[in-house]
Amino acid sequence: MSRPQSLCLIVFFLLGLAALPANRNELAAQERRADLETISVEAASVAPEAKELTVGEEFNAADTMWVLISTAFVLLMTAPGLALFYGGLVRKKNILSVMMQCMFLMGLMSLVWFLWGYSLAFDTDILNGYVGGFGKAGLMGVLPYWDAETSTPMLPLEGSIPEIVFMMFQMMFFIITPALICGAFAERMKFSAMCMFAVLWGTFVYCPLCHWVWSANGWLSPEGAYHAFDFAGGTVVHVSSGVSALICAMMIGKRLGHGQEPMPPHNLTYTTIGTALLWFGWFGFNAGSALGVNPLAANAFVATHICAATGLVTWAGIEWVTRGKPSILGGCSGAVAGLVCITPACGFVTPLEGIWLGFIAASACYFACTSLKSKFKYDDALDAFGIHGVGGAVGALLTGVFATRRVTGDANGSGLLEGNMHQFANQTISVVAAVAIAVIGTVILLKFVDLVIGLRVTHEEELKGLDLTQHGEEGYIFL
Amino acid sequence: MKKIEAIIRTFKLEEVKDALSEIGVQGMTVSEVRGFGRQKGHKEQYRGAEYTVDFLPKAKMEIVVGDDQAQKVIETILQSARTGQIGDGKIFVTSLDQMIRIRTGETGDEAL
């Protein structure tokens, strides 16, 4: 069967799956009704027969609004944010390929999350806290349902917000995480291989890891044996994507001519705009993770900003001192390093500690991108590992150092500096676990994709550029 | 007839053009070119990776004039394009065999 035919079949299969759960949805939702403690509200008096969609008594409009806005913020991070950030860093014959990867993942990963991803990540587990079940596949029990007893349409809640809003917020993380990996294999991976890898990676690496850390039953969650602090995705998003990116860069190999011919970024203007949009979106990423309008969101918001600011000044400052000139790419890289590092910590440290995190993260990532990469000679094209892998791991570990009861409000919610060795150990365990699942998962999945469709474009295609050979388009037609 | 090619700094282009117009030069062709002489290039750094850029952007002017006017044109370019710093460019002078105006078919000095 030709490739287009197979793709069509896959799409029809996915659509069919999406249509299936409609009825099961209502049944499952009714079973959950007792737990949800939903109440119905009288509909508008002008139309007594019609009943408005109602939600549970814990529903909070402000919380819901903030998470809805945050969700949109986080989507903005993938495109245009990351698309421009990465797009500017590649050569001009490959800009569309990078933008297409970001853009397409917004569609592809959304469908995967809708159909089975959310369930694998957040349903009650089927393997002792290691992965969720299929109880919420196709958003069963999450979408609005009809309550036969009260003849009212109902909407399940997660905390004080509708569960579909929570699902949607989490979906944005599911989209951006594989998009981050694209920075490592930029300019040389087949588009079809990227799609297949992203779906498999999301299913077998992201969802289990997300379940471990953020579901109610995960072994790294608050209820689990090794509670790891990960407010907005230091391990779930950044360590997992960064480490997987490194494996991708090593397994796919260097770009043709890497080390012999110059491959400077083709448009740092885009990269700067992309960084600014990432920074903007990151407020939703981190402060939205408080899942409500509360002190935690306020703290996360400010800590996020201060850490990014420190990261920017630090990286540019290091360049200024060691090389004589502060570069805009250095400033952008430092800001992103700071944002990555504060991600796990922003709900556990104050903005003051954010300064330390930003300083340490920018220094560590600078070292990874300049010295480590050239020493070990891997071609992490856009430094996905150097910034997200290293920044994420540093952030997760430093969360265990700087976490403070002033923010967590819990005597045990503290880090090394407040004498809590235990939490630092948990943070280390979570990083090791994330590295392990990312390495093992990525190696196996890449081998599989390589076997089925091949990972890399041909030499000729790589020389021509991926824009033309993968998408039949050019980024700069008028130049 | 002489063809004078001058490689000059891009920011000097307007000044040279005005000076040439003043001494009665009727037309010229200008292109953006890249190259290097003794000035060589410069270094660029991206996240610690260093790139040497050999070819620097310059403007190339091509002017065709009669033999009697050539020296005046060269002197004018020398004066107006000079900064005294390395990288000011060069002037190449060649003898021209023939020149034809496409619209009328005129040849030689008549076509100037």
Summarised one tens digit per residue, pLDDT across range A128-140 is 778 999 999 999 9
CB contact under 8 A, A371 and B51: no
A267 CB neighbours in chain B (<8 A) are none
A333 CB neighbours in chain B (<8 A) are 47
Q: What are B19's two structure tokens? A: 């000076």
Tell me how long chain A is: 479
Q: What are A96's two structure tokens? A: 């569309």
What stretch of H or E contains A231? Answer: none
Picking from A437, A45, A408, A421, the residue whose alpha carbon sits closest to that of residue A204 is A437
A460 contacts: CB under 8 Å, gap ≥ 6: none
Q: What are A238's two structure tokens? A: 């950044």
Cα distance between the two ends of chain B: 9
CB contact under 8 A, A265 and B46: yes
Q: At what angle do helices A390-402 and A328-342 cross, to 10 degrees?
A: 50
CA distance A286 to A309: 15
Contact A41, A61 (CB under 8 A): no
Please state which architecture CATH assigns to domain A61-471. Answer: Orthogonal Bundle (1.10)
Question: Does the predicted interface ipTM exceed a cut of 0.85?
Answer: no
CA distance A181 to A307: 23
Looking up tokens 């920074």 gives: A279
Residue A85's alpha-carbon distances to A2, A18, A179, A296, A412, in angstroms, are 35, 33, 12, 29, 39
To the nearest 10°, the Cα dihedral for A89, A276, A331, A417? Answer: -120
| Residues in chain A where the model's pLDDT stays below 50 | 1, 8, 15, 18-24, 27, 33-47
CB contact under 8 A, B46 and A371: no
- For chain B, 112 residues long, give each residue's pLDDT as a single digit of tens: 999 999 999 999 999 999 999 999 989 999 999 999 887 888 888 998 888 888 899 999 999 999 999 999 999 999 999 999 999 999 999 999 999 999 999 999 898 8
| SS3 assignment, position B56 | strand
Q: Which residues pair with B59 in a beta bridge?
A: B8, B32
CB contact under 8 A, A371 and B48: yes
- pTM for this one? 0.86
Picking from A241, A425, A235, the residue whose alpha carbon sits closest to that of residue A341 is A235
Best A91, A267, A323, A387 member to test B by mutation, with max B CBs in 10 Å, is A323
A43 contacts: CB under 8 Å, gap ≥ 6: A50, A51, A52
Is some CB atom of chain A closer than 8 A to the CB atom of B45? yes
Contact A189, A457 (CB under 8 A): yes
Question: How many angstroms away from the CA of B60 is the closest CA of chain A?
Answer: 20
CA distance A370 to A318: 12
CB contact under 8 A, A374 and B48: yes
CB contact under 8 A, A262 and B45: no
A374 CB neighbours in chain B (<8 A) are 48-49
Is some CB atom of chain A closer than 8 A to the CB atom of B85? no
B48 CB neighbours in chain A (<8 A) are 366, 369-371, 374
CA distance A232 to A76: 16
| Smallest CA–CA distance from A261 into chain B, residue | B51
CA distance A353 to B112: 75
Task: Look up the CATH number of domain B2-111.
Answer: 3.30.70.120
Contact A273, A82 (CB under 8 A): no
CB contact under 8 A, B47 and A370: yes
Q: What residue spans define the domains of chain A?
A: 61-471
| SS3 assignment, position B102 | coil
